[in-house]
Amino acid sequence: MTTLSRVSLVLDALAESRGRLSLSELAARTGLPRSSVHRTIQHLEEELYVVRTPGRPGYALGPGVLKFGMAGHLHLLSANRGQLVALARATNENAELAIFSGREVVIVDQVASPERLKGVTKVGRSFSLHASCVGKALLAALPPARAEDLLPQELEQFTDTTVTNRLELQNEVQLVQRVGVAVDIEEHDLGICALATAMTGPTGALQAIAVVMPTSRFAAKGPAALEALKELNPVIDLPGAREHLERKKRVGLG
């Protein structure tokens, strides 16, 4: 394994953690020998990519990573802004951009429609991978083993329509992989439905773009939103996506 690979594993483990990690915990999470983790951490500390606080055990990400994060974030937003604006205009609904954030998915940009959804989805809000269309779209773009590794042992139920059965979720993710579109009918928030597709974006990063709307408009506007997403992501199988949408509507909307 290369030095860069070890650095990536350690930084990913720290990014996914909600607290500090000791050398032993890092070794367990990365699968690296503790001695290799220690050497890697020493180099990262020198550049302030990781830090320790006196009197507190473990390591956390340091200020050295901010210069990369801020530059990358601004590049991501500017590269995708035009697509979001076009999608919001075409659907007259909110258009959102999402990326992985550890074991969740986070909304990093949004273009609101004139009929803006207030207080539901905001930039910076994170969602569980299994209970959101952006999450399922991103999972479908990964190798199955990696997607399974990102999911928690127990799938949290947010609403009555949240998919919490692992086999059912696996089957749905496989379907999303085939048709190119994920559907969320009140699976994370009551009164909110969405469609999303995942792709490698202009910056080379894996991302998901979604159309989000109130449930009251979803039955009528879902098909048009599918066509608008197809304009952004030509690999979408429109007939298959329509069938997937109708099946989800029968289950979720009755």
121-149 residue pLDDT tens? 667 778 889 999 999 999 999 988 888 88
- CB of 133 within 8 A of CB of 210? yes
Residue 119, pLDDT score = 45
CA separation for the pair 219, 58 (Å, rounded): 50
Looking at residue 223, what is its pLDDT?
93
Q: Give 94-154 as a DSSP string.
A: EEEEEEEETTEEEEEEEE--TTPPPSSS-TT-EEEGGGSHHHHHHHHTS-HHHHHHHS-SS
Q: Which residues of the chain have pLDDT under 50?
A: 119
The CA distance from 120 to 113, in Å, is 14
Rounded-to-integer distance, Cα 64 and Cα 49, Å: 4
N- to C-terminal Cα separation, the chain: 52
Q: 124, 89, 84, 96: which is closest to 195 by C-alpha?
A: 96
Extract the tokens encoding 48: 């302030």
Nearest-CA neighbor of 18 among 69, 60, 55, 57?
60
CA angle 180, 196, 225 (to 5 degrees): 95
pTM for the complete prediction?
Answer: 0.71
Q: What is the pLDDT of residue 120?
A: 56
Q: What is the pLDDT of residue 77?
A: 66
CA dihedral sign, ordered 105, 107, 113, 118: positive
